[in-house]
Structure 1
Amino acid sequence: MHTLSKRNTKTWAALLLSGVLLFSMNTPSYAATSTEALTKPSWTSSSLMLSEVNAQEDIRIKEIHAVPSKNLVYVHSYQPVTKINSKTTLDWNLDSLQALDATTGKLKWNVIFHEKSGPYTTYSNSLYADNGTAYVYMEYSDGTKKVYSYNTSGKTNWVKTVNAPSDLYLMNNGTLMIASSTGPLSNGSVRSSISLYDAKGKLITAKTINGAVLKAGNDRIVVDASKQTKVGNYWHQAANPKLEIYDLTLNRLSFYQFPTNANTIGDGGGESLAILEDGSVIMRANFDNTGNKLMGFGSDGKLAWGRSIAGNAFVQTAGNGYTVFTGQKLELYTMKGKVTERMFKDQQDVLTVVEHTQDGNYKIDFANTGYILDPTTLESIHEYTFTSSPEDMKGYSTYTNDIIYNFKNEALSKYVLNTANN
């Protein structure tokens, strides 16, 4: 079943009007939650800096991911290495995946994606299954590209070589999706290879489709099926894409052509494209003369509504809802409309973002106070401050199950929040 690629003005206006008509609601007042002063971590790890090469710079974090069921916390990091001799034609990265004991902070194992006699890493990415399986994608200087699967003991489950630049996605049925594309053909069209694997690395299904995968998650795959345009030596994706939505059987559910006055590239903050747990899709666009809108596609793939938002709004999703953060106001919506809102007076900071935590809550850090918020009510689960160093609020951190892991000065620290506040 397909959505119409061309819509008349009356239909378009009706969709936008229906999107901005919100459910009647009263803005709730939130009971004060005591603010926790995080003065001392439960532990701080040893330095995670690697010493395998001499020309290393600072350590940078790709991902921190805790696995409570296995008492582990992963740190995927890299260290930029400057070109120092004729054997390396590019600056490169020393990548590693380190697993720490979540109780003590001691290193249990690590994997370094480089051998002195082998190629060096130019790009990497990683993601993690609920059972602790780590999937790591690596691109190397000799052109090879590999996907690794590691168990919680640091042993390799399997390794696969892919033939083109790829992205990894974990779907809600536990399968790993690898989307690969060699880039536009001479006429601007793009072909992508989609492969789904089970946890053992067995291929479940595969298909080559027209278009580039924009995002995948839960049980949906969102594809830009438009041709790209070449400007000079570079290809540019369409600002008003032809959007196609697939399910996990790799069947196309729908398509939608954004109008010519739409621009879906690079406007605003947060998630410009998101897939909710029920398979609904939200995509942001800027329309000439009217401004920013969120476009909502239902679980059937059809366009359901368009809702106006501020151009500087920050968008973040969790579960079957999404938030719009503008100024001091955080608003919570579902596909049906507005649920509630919350004001954060005197807390706004130009760098403030809303994050989706590992356990499905919202995390928002201001200059001096941080909040963990319930994704269905926006009520505080935790409010906290780093009293020893407020700058830790801006450090790389992750939250799950009443614990904050914070990275600073080459080491990881664990802060346990007070569950009595729940």
Structure 2
Amino acid sequence: MRQRGREGLREQRPVATMEAAEGRLSSEDSGEMGGGMAAAAVEGIMERIQSDDEECRVQAAKEIRRLTKTSPKHRRQLEGTVVPLVSMLRSSNPEFTEAAMLALLNLAVKDERNKIKIVDAGAVEPLIGFLRSTNSNLQEHATAALLTLTASSINKPIVSAAGAIPLLVKILRDGNLQAKVDAVMALYNLSTLPEDINTILAAKPIPPLVNLLKICKKSSKIAEKCTALVELLLGHDEGRMALTSEEGGVLSVVEVLEEGSPLSREHAIGALLTMCESDHCRYREVILNEGVMPGLLELTVQGTPKSQSKARSLLQLLRKSSYSGSELQAETLENILTNIVAQIDGDDCVGKAKKMLADMVQVSMEQSLRHLQKRAFATPTKQSRTKRQ
């Protein structure tokens, strides 16, 4: 198994669930608001958010942002502010638009009705405009807002039709780390529409996805979302070709298979299985050469039920080798397999596992080990940022 020389970058704002991920909340300190507001308070905010005084409107937007950060009741009470907030997005004043965006973001979190109201009010067009902005804050907030809005199935085709996908891939490639994370999840939301897959692939998302996988912690939520999107894209030939032609592409998936969370390991094994099932002869050696065997063998007995099933299927494909025999060095793999299986399934299963391993090692381990050694001493710019022991 591989040992990492560095942990990799972590998300700036950890995400516990997709529901929390959809709308990355503001970092302002705000306590949980227990009950709802009095009607007079709501009316006062409505008056200020529609004021002719720009400073008054900015302060009202900030108040809405604060009140709706943690309170579902306040989100519902203040839904009437959606239209004036969306109109603020068209201002040329960055402070004005930023305050409005952050207020809308909190209004939309975990509130399906507000998500739809925001899109119906015309927010998508200015938000997409901010994706093109050279202002990194506006770009980041717009990406987060689109992530939140695309959590609604009703909004997805509207966002796609407005041309968001190529710009989200550009953010994935060139944006700051948080914007990249939000772009991945927004693209994943949109990828559930079959008609959007070709648009996503045409924007060439695989290279930036691989780059993000290389620098993130493999057990992180970032890795989960990246591998989920990669698995989906590998169902298409363009995605498979892009991954195998990218430096360290397949390796990055193998590393998630080894070190990821249970969910990300499911996506990683699913991605590799999809590749091998699509063209057994074409991709078998590519996968084997990235040192997949130790992690794959472990996954057959220690993964989730879904991971175990997919790992066994992939093993069956990888063991069907047409390579001629050679002098093999399989002791390390055999020991790994024997120890894992012996601890869990007993002696009878050990014998079966050894027979499977004997079939698989028809592929020259000497060649594989030389490949790994050569990669270990490659320059940092041409290898995954890892350290093997």
Higher strand share: 1
- Specify if TM > 0.5: no
Decide which structure has the larger Cα Rg and report it.
Answer: 2
Higher helix share: 2
TM-score range, shorter-chain basis? under 0.3
The TM-score with structure 2 as length reference comes to 0.26
